[in-house]
Amino acid sequence: MDRSKELAEHYRDFVRAWKADEHKARMAFVDVCALPVPERSGDTTRLYATDIGSCPRKAMLRILGKAKRTATLAEELMYDEAEMIEARMAATCLWQDGLVDYQSRVEIRDREGWGARLDIVADYGGLTGIEVKSSRSAAFKFGVRKANHDHQARLYSHYREVPWILFYADRGGANHPEQYKVDGDWSATGLIMDELEACRAALPDLPPVLDKVANERDRKKTVKLEPAWECGYCNYADISCKPLTGIKTLASRGHTDIPYVPKPGLSPGERTILDDYLQKISEG
Ligand code: SF4
């Protein structure tokens, strides 16, 4: 692969060749789809790379085998599209004779009961790992890169001992893909792994639900206390976990140009959350 090009350019070159019916491109995609994917371990107590930096309660609910919501058809189609994007990226690497590994296990040598499966390792003028993420178009406005994605890719990079790239594609096609080199502090990732292991050791006691957060709503006329955004995407929410779904108004104002007035009867904790939030927005 040409190191000076972004992954998105390689991806585009591949898709163009594929659409032009170029035999090698077509076969690369077929060959990637036919590659064996490692079977899931039957060990239900495992922790996974994707748990690092996500809600620890969610990982523990999975370990305990708690009930969760089944995916809707729309979600199944979304997961399918995400897998297609990943397969096309792997096919891009294969088409360029650079695919080294696809969907293979990463051995967590120094810890018990962990599982990890990388997306892609490619020979990119030197080995490079690629973690492919897909996102809805609106997420690109707020920043698609999430701390848990960095932890996940950092883990692969640490145990495979090659640099890693996070590649973000827009499932809706409205944004140019984004890519980031994964760097940062491995020890921070290791500390979260320690915490997850401690949570697992403490089962059946569960970690607390994620803290609720303050958000401006109603065209900036109210500040509301709402469940963390992760809870909105969690399939345990309101089935095995009650993330305090009630939404409470902390403060309001008649117009956007007068200050927020706190609602009467806020608890000290709610007052602190409101004060911190108002401080944050006053700092821009
Ligand atoms: S609903 Fe929220 S607090 Fe509960 S497990 Fe899911 S993400 Fe965690």
Q: Give the residue extent of every domain in the chain.
A: 7-202, 213-282
Q: Which fold has domain 7-202?
A: Lambda Exonuclease; Chain A (3.90.320)
CB of 46 within 8 A of CB of 115? Answer: yes
Protein residue with least CA distance to atom 4, ligand 1:
241
CA 123 – ligand 1 centroid, Å: 38
Q: How far is CA 134 from the centre of its chain?
A: 9
Please report, as a single letter, which amino acid is at residue 46: R
CA 159 – ligand 1 centroid, Å: 29
Protein residue with least CA distance to atom 7, ligand 1:
231
Ligand 1 in reach of 57 Cβ (< 6 A): yes
Atom of ligand 1 nearest to the CA of 208: 3
Atom of ligand 1 nearest to the CA of 230: 7
Among 62, 210, 242, residue to substitute to test ligand 1 (most atoms within 8 Å of Cβ) = 210
Residue 245 is predicted with a pLDDT of 66
Atom of ligand 1 nearest to the CA of 54: 7
CA atoms within 13 A on the CB side of 206: 18
In whole angstroms, what is the distance from residue 185 CA to residue 171 CA? 30
In whole angstroms, what is the distance from residue 17 CA to residue 28 CA? 11
Residue 43 is predicted with a pLDDT of 84
CA 229 – ligand 1 centroid, Å: 9
Ligand 1 in reach of 59 Cβ (< 6 A): no
The tokens describing 280, both together, are: 């944050």
CB of 119 within 8 A of CB of 86? Answer: yes
Q: How far is CA 104 from the centre of its chain?
A: 19
Protein residue with least CA distance to atom 2, ligand 1:
231
Atom of ligand 1 nearest to the CA of 56: 8
Q: What's the pTM?
A: 0.88
Residue 251 is predicted with a pLDDT of 96
Q: At what angle do helices 7-19 and 73-95 cross, to 10 degrees?
A: 90
In whole angstroms, what is the distance from residue 233 CA to residue 231 CA? 5
CA 143 – ligand 1 centroid, Å: 22
In whole angstroms, what is the distance from residue 102 CA to residue 92 CA? 12
Residue 15 is predicted with a pLDDT of 93
Q: Provide block-wise average pLDDT over 10 residues at a time, the chain (284 residues).
A: 78 94 95 86 89 96 96 93 94 95 95 95 90 91 90 96 94 90 91 98 96 91 92 92 83 88 93 93 82
